[in-house]
Amino acid sequence: MDARLDDFGDTLSVDLVDAPGEKSYSIVAYTYILVYQTSTTSCDSVKELYRYIQWFSTDPEAHEWSVRVGFAPLSENVAKLIQSRVLDAMTFGACIDHGRGR
């Protein structure tokens, strides 16, 4: 993923097929999650979604789990993109506290 880091679009999508690198695999695809950033009917749901995305993108346990089940874990660089382009953009009124007091 990092080999194509500069190619990520606003939607955090990039073509990974035939990526350069010794550890790259020629047939690969992402699993996507669609996240509304500004509307909801439940703050509790928003907070749980936020925590889930933060967990799978940054937690060492999530990294270990993905390897154990055969997924390629997210790199630290991709996790930073998720933080800046998804998590930091989630507002939902007062549901998300970007003052980091979560």
Q: What is the pLDDT of residues 39-84, one digit of tens each?
A: 667 888 888 888 999 998 999 999 999 999 988 788 898 889 888 8
Q: Structure pTM?
A: 0.71
Residue-level pLDDT at 69: 94
CA distance 6 to 51: 26
- Print the SS3 string covering 30-52: CCCCCCCCCCCCCHHHHHHHHHH
pLDDT at 100 over 80: no
Q: How confident is the model at residue 102 (pLDDT cuts 50, 70, 90)?
A: very low
Amino acid code (one letter) for 52: Y
* CB distance 46 to 96 below 8 Å: yes
DSSP-derived letter for residue 102 is: -
